[in-house]
Structure 1
Amino acid sequence: MFARALPLVTLASLVLSTPACVPHSSTPMTGRVEVPLAERRIGQYISSGWSFDTSSFWIEGPEGLVVIDVQFLPSVAAEVIAAAERVTRKKVVAAIVLHANPDKFNGTATFQARGIEVWTAEQVLARIPEVFARRTEAFAERYAPDWPTAVPQPRSFGAATTTLKLAGLELKAHVLGPGCSPAHVVIQWEDHVFVGDLVANKAHAWLEIGEAEEWLKRLAEIEAMKPKTVHPGRGRSGTLELVANQREYLQTVLSLVRAEKPTLPPDETAIRRVRSELERRYEGYRFPVFLEIGLPAVWRRLAAENTTDGPAEGAAEEPAQPAGSNPTSQP
C-alpha cells in the first residue's frame, strides 16, 4: 500500500512564471525542487543520490521562510537556500534540525554564515558532536572538500515541546523520544507535520539504533497530531497513509527478526535471510544498503530482550559500524 503523492509543480515552471525583473541566485541545482499545487506556501528540495535523496522543506511565512532540515553537504545546503528564495522571492530567516543525523544537520554552518538562525531540541543538539565525529571518519575523505570543517552547532530551543515563532509563523516543535535516532523533533504547522526520517516514502528505514518498537510509538504520536499532510525525510509528501505504510514496514522487520529467534552474537546467515525477504517484499524501495547496519542492530536489541540478565555486550544504544561496511554508502 503506497500513499499517493500530492500534485506538484517543479522549480522550472515556477521560475519561468515569475517576472523577468526578479533577480535569481546563480547557484546551480544538483537536486530537484517541487511545490505542491494545493499548498504553495510549502516547497520541497530533494537532493541527488550522492547525498541520499534527502529532503529539505521550506514554509513561507509573512516575514520570510523557515527551512526544515539543512542537508548532508554544505554545497547542497546552499542550493536549498537559493531554491527557496528563488521560488518565493523571500529570504530564509530560520531553519530547524529534526534529528541528529548528518543529512539533517551538516549544512548548519552554511545557513548560519548567511545570518540564518538554526534551531533544534536540546536532546538532538547533545547527540550531534558524537554522531558528527563518527560520520566524519566515514565520509570526510570521500566528500572532501564538501564536508563541514567543524562540528555543526545549531541553537537549542530547549528540551520540551514548545511553539516556535519564526518568520511570522507559529510552529509547534514536538520533542519526541527514540526512533531512527535517540531523539526527534517533529514540526507541526496547521494541518502539516514535518517528520524527518521517522517516515520515508518508498525507502528502507534507517534502523541504526535498533529501536523499532520505540519507533512505532513515535508513529502513534504523529497520528495523534491529526495531520492531513505528512512531509517525510525521503520521498514525496503524502497523507497519513505514509505513516501507516511505515508502521507496516517496521512491524514486518520485527516479525521477520523475531521469527529467527535472535540470540547473541548475531547470526549473519539469518540476518541475510531477513534482508532478502525485506527486499523481496519492498521491491523498488531505495537504499537497501541501510539494512547492513540496521538489521544487526534490531537483532541485538531483540536478542537482549530475550535474556534475563539485561542487555548483553553488543546491544549498545548506537552499535559500532561493522568493519568494512558503510551503512550509508551510495547504492
Structure 2
Amino acid sequence: MKWLITTLVIFSSVLYSETSIYVFESDASGFNTKSFFYDNGEEVIAFGGQFTPQIAQQAIDFLRTKTTNPISYLVITHPNPDKFNGATVFQAEGVQVICSQSTAMAIPEVHGYKKYYFVHIAKMFTEETYPQMPTVDIVFEKTLEIYLANGEKLVLEERDKPGVSSTQTLGCFPKTKALFVGDLVHHKAHAWLEGGIVHQQAQATISLWIEHLHYIAQSYADYTVYGGRGEAVNAVAAAKQQIRYLQTAQQITRDYIVSLGNSKGELQGEKAGVHHKKIEELLVKSFPNYKINYMVRFGIYGLINALLK
C-alpha cells in the first residue's frame, strides 16, 4: 500500500537580535507535528524529526526557503515516532542526531510497538515502507552543554521520569530565553495522552507529567516555551494551562470509567474506539477553543490503561 502524504506547512519566524526561530507543522497525516529550527545567524539547531522521512524532507525544504545556514544538530526531545522517524533524512544532510541516554534506550521498544500498530493494525504502511529506526550520533546523561560557533550555549537536560512519554529532554538557549519541551506542552491544543511505552504497554502518568510542568514554571519562569503542538507562550502560563488540562482530562476519564462500572471489557475490547470518541467529545466540550482534538481519540487509551490498574 502506497503511503501518500500531503503536508500543510504552517510557519512563523520569531526574531531575537540575529536569531530566528522557524516553525514547520505537518498536517494530520504527520500528526500536526512541529519541527522547530533555531537559526542563530550562523547555524541551525532542529527540534523534532517528523513522523516520516518524506515529511522530514519537506521540513528541511521549508527551512531552505528561510536560510542557507547549515543544520548542526537534531534534538530528539522524547521517544515518540513523530520525533525520530525522520532523523535519517537530517543525517543525510550532515546533521548530528542527539538524545538522552534514556531516550536512546527507549527508542527500540517504541519503534517496534509503533511499527506493529501502523503496519498490522492501521495498515498505513507495509513492513518495507515503515520508516527505519534511526541511529543516534550523540547520547548524553543528565545534561549536555553545547557551545555553538558564535559562542552561544545550548543546554540539554534529561528528565528521566515519565511525562508525555517515558522520558523527556528540555532544550534551552539562555541567551534568548527559548525553551523547547517537545509534547510536554500543547498550549491551546489537545494533549497526546498515551503516555510512555514500557514492556509493550502504554500508560500515562499524569502526576509525574505535572511534576515536569511545575519544574518548568519554577526553573524557566522568564522563558518562552515551544511545545510540540499549539502556541508558543511564557513558561509559567504554559505550565498553568497544561496542568489544568491534564487534571481535567484525568477527572473526565476517571468519571467515564466509573460510569461504565470500571469494565475493562468495554474500555479495552472491541467497543473501545466508541468510548475513546465519547471521552474526546467530553474534553472538547470542556476546552472548546482547543485545536487538534483527534489527539484525544487516538491517545486516550494510555490514560485509560493507567486508571484501570
Shorter-chain TM range is 0.7 to 0.9
Name the residue aligned to 1:36: 14
Measure the CA separation in 2 of the matches of 1:148 and 1:111: 17
User: 1:23-49, CA deviations, whole angstroms, 9 ceiling, x for partnerless residues?
Assistant: xxxxx9742321125665211111122
The one-letter code matched in structure 1 to 2:106 is: R
CA drift of 1:164 comes to 2.5
User: 1:271-297, CA deviations, whole angstroms, 9 ceiling, x for partnerless residues?
Assistant: 766443212112243343333454343
User: Are residue 302 (structure 1) and residue 307 (structure 2) matched?
Assistant: yes
Question: Paired residues, what number?
Answer: 277
CA drift of 1:254 comes to 2.2
The one-letter code matched in structure 1 to 2:252 is: L
Q: 1:111 aligns with which of 78, 82, 90?
A: 90
The one-letter code matched in structure 2 to 1:32 is: I
CA drift of 1:302 comes to 3.2
Alignment of 1:250-269 (within 5 A): 250-259=246-255, 262=258, 263=262, 265=264, 268=267
Q: Is the 8 A contact 2:52 2:131 kept in 1?
A: no
CA drift of 1:181 comes to 0.4
- 1:157–1:93 distance in 2 versus 1, CA, 3 Å: same
User: Are residue 283 (structure 1) and residue 300 (structure 2) matched?
Assistant: no
The one-letter code matched in structure 2 to 1:265 is: K
Q: Is the 8 A contact 2:187 2:238 kept in 1?
A: yes
Query: Who wins on radius of gyration, i.e. which is larger?
Result: 1
User: Are residue 188 (structure 1) and residue 157 (structure 2) matched?
Assistant: no
Measure the CA separation in 2 of the matches of 1:70 and 1:165: 22
User: Are residue 236 (structure 1) and residue 231 (structure 2) matched?
Assistant: yes
Q: 1:172 aligns with which of 155, 159, 182?
A: 155
Name the residue aligned to 1:317: none
Measure the CA separation in 2 of the matches of 1:32 and 1:144: 29
Name the residue aligned to 2:197: none
User: 1:195-254, CA deviations, whole angstroms, 9 ceiling, x for partnerless residues?
Assistant: 111001332211112211111011111112224311010123122322221111001122
The one-letter code matched in structure 2 to 1:64 is: E
Name the residue aligned to 1:222: 216
Q: Which consecutive residues of structure 2, in runs of 5 or more, have no partner in the other structure? A: 1-5, 195-202, 268-273
Q: 1:136 aligns with which of 115, 126, 143?
A: 115
Measure the CA separation in 2 of the matches of 1:138 and 1:273: 22
SS in 1 for 2:39: strand
Alignment of 1:46-61 (within 5 A): 46-61=25-40
Measure the CA separation in 2 of the matches of 1:278 and 1:188: 31
Give the superposed CA RMSD: 2.8
Q: 2:141 aligns with which of 140, 144, 159?
A: 159
SS in 1 for 2:113: helix
CA drift of 1:192 comes to 1.2
User: 1:84-113, CA deviations, whole angstroms, 9 ceiling, x for partnerless residues?
Assistant: 233122111211110111110011110111
SS in 2 for 1:142: coil
Q: Is the 8 A contact 1:73 1:146 kept in 2?
A: no
Q: Is the 8 A contact 2:49 2:86 kept in 1?
A: yes
Q: Which consecutive residues of structure 1, in runs of 5 or more, have no partner in the other structure? A: 1-27, 305-331
Mean CA deviation greater in 139-148 or 168-177: 139-148
TM-score relative to the length of structure 2: 0.79
